[in-house]
Amino acid sequence: MMKAVVVTTPGGPEVLKLQEVADPELKEDEVLIKVAATALNRADTLQRKGAYPPPPGSSPYLGLECSGTIEAVGEHVSRWQVGDRVCALLSGGGYAEKVAVPAGQVFPVPPGISLKDAASFPEVACTVWSTVFMMSRLSAGETFLVHGGSSGIGTFAIQIAKYQGVRVFVTAGSEEKLAVCKELGADVCINYKTEDFVARVKEETGGKGVDVILDSIGASYFRRNLDSLNFDGRLFVIGMLGGAVTEIDLRVVLSRRLTIQAAGLRYRSPENKAEIAREVENNVWPAIVAGRVKTVIYKSFPLSEAAEAHRLMESSQHIGKILLVA
């Protein structure tokens, strides 16, 4: 048996309870990790409300990433050994003392990063690298706008984009959040509560617009995002905090040769996740080791205080990642 945070019934943070549950079963291509820490993602709050079910065959528990020590390896696993210090991208199950995960979604803890803090990297690194770099092909000398610059995704995206030689624009909702973005390397910081981000983007780019936008807002920003893009610009949508349904004027897309893409990580195949994980290890891990991409952790809670951690995330007062420590 092990302890895990259980969603006792779909609802608010108070439905999260730490309970005794059965250990995960280990498949032949998986490793069993004794969890040191997991990190919160917005998706966890959606799953808690009953709106984001885990993929079939995945752990029923919350938690899309973790760090810890390998406790057992499946018979088809060759790279990892018992005792290895790792972090991993999960389909679920991070809010627990143990989790089983396909071996291809496991990373070594980067040198210089503590075991606990390593839990803050897998989901943001795989999300940003797969969307912004693998699919939208952001490259050196281009311009990039990330909405929610002070979020876990945002604080990571700023740093990896700067490492790649990109000019970075961010939006955030307070001067304190924008100051952190600037400290992390953002070139243009826009307070969306007091400024029109389209006007500011145009002003800072000589009327052209940016090359790539990473957006977790969705419908309410959709038209403004298109208006903020340069010729051959790419919009990547990874969330719908501002709604899911919108209208599109195809003339705007056609005349400026725009690309609109959307994707999530959770429902991708294990093979696809493994491919992303290797790209991340090859391209992002060296930046972490070089000290160019740092962890941005706002607060850590014990597993038993998962409800409190969710309240903090839903207040949006945090900057960077929120951890749960097993």
Q: Can you tell me the mean pLDDT for 48-74?
A: 97
pLDDT, tens digit, 9 for 90 and up, residues 269-295: 999 999 999 999 999 999 999 999 999
CA trace torsion 160, 162, 166, 170 (10° rounding)? 90
Q: What is the pLDDT of residue 310?
A: 98
- CA-to-CA distance for 177 and 175, rounded, in angstroms? 5
Same fold for the domain at 2-121+290-325 and the one at 136-262? no
Paired tokens of 259:
């690309």
CATH number of 136-262: 3.40.50.720
- Residue matched to tokens 């160019």: 292
Q: What is the pLDDT of residues 116-129, one digit of tens each?
A: 999 999 999 999 99
- For the stretch 44-48, contacts whose Cβ atoms lie closer than 8 Å and that sit 24 or more positions apart, written own/partner, are 44/95, 44/310, 44/313, 45/310, 45/313, 45/314, 47/7, 47/92, 48/7, 48/10, 48/11, 48/12, 48/13, 48/15, 48/16, 48/310
pLDDT digits (tens, 9 = 90+) for 1-37: 999 999 999 999 999 999 999 999 999 999 999 999 9
Q: What value does the mean pLDDT of the chain take?
A: 98
CATH superfamily of 2-121+290-325: Medium-chain alcohol dehydrogenases, catalytic domain (3.90.180.10)
- How far apart are the C-alpha atoms of 293 and 316, rounded to whole Å? 23
Give residue-wise pLDDT tens across range 130-174.
999 999 999 999 999 999 999 999 999 999 999 999 999 999 999
For the whole prediction, is pTM greater than 0.95?
Answer: yes
The residue extents of the domains of the chain are 2-121+290-325, 136-262
- The vertex-281 CA angle with 275 and 286, nearest 5°, equals 155
Give the residue among 232, 195, 197, 236 at the shortest CA–CA distance from 213. Answer: 236
Q: Are 228 and 144 within 8 A, CB to CB? A: no
